[in-house]
């Protein structure tokens, strides 16, 4: 898994690219505090020929966001390249933290 951050000079925005290797998966999405954990507003990642899923989202910089990957609409996964992790009592699991 990989997270790439590209800060824009013209706007207070960071383009965050998520890359998830999941050859067996049919779909992978990113849900988090930036889309209110709403699976209908989730950022759908595009499946590449090499089996990875990739997608980019614009997020306001100088903020922290919690997120997780949602694989095939049922399994949540974390990214080992997250900036940190925070325990979530509701999910009884850790969420990834993205600091911009």
Give the C-alpha distances (Å, rounded to integers) separating 48 from 2, 9, 65, 75.
14, 29, 26, 20
Number of domains the chain is built from: 1
Question: Is residue 80 classed as helix, strand or coil in its secondary structure?
Answer: coil
What average pLDDT does the segment 66-72 reach?
A: 97
Q: Which domain holds residue 46?
A: 2-99
Q: Residue 74: which CATH number?
A: 2.60.40.10
CB 72 within 8 A of CB 25: yes
| pLDDT of residue 81 exceeding 90 | yes
Tens-place pLDDT, residues 8-40: 999 999 999 999 999 899 999 999 999 999 999
């Amino acid at each position: 898994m990989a997270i790439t951050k590209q800060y824009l000079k013209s706007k207070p925005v960071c383009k965050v690219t998520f890359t998830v290797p999941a050859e067996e998966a049919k779909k992978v999405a990113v849900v988090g505090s930036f889309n209110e954990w709403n699976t209908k507003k989730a950022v759908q990642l595009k499946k590449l020929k090499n089996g990875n899923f990739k997608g980019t989202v614009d997020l306001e910089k100088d903020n922290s966001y919690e997120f997780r990957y949602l694989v095939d609409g049922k399994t949540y996964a974390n990214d080992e390249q997250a900036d940190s992790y925070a325990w979530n009592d509701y999910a009884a699991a850790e969420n990834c933290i993205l600091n911009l």
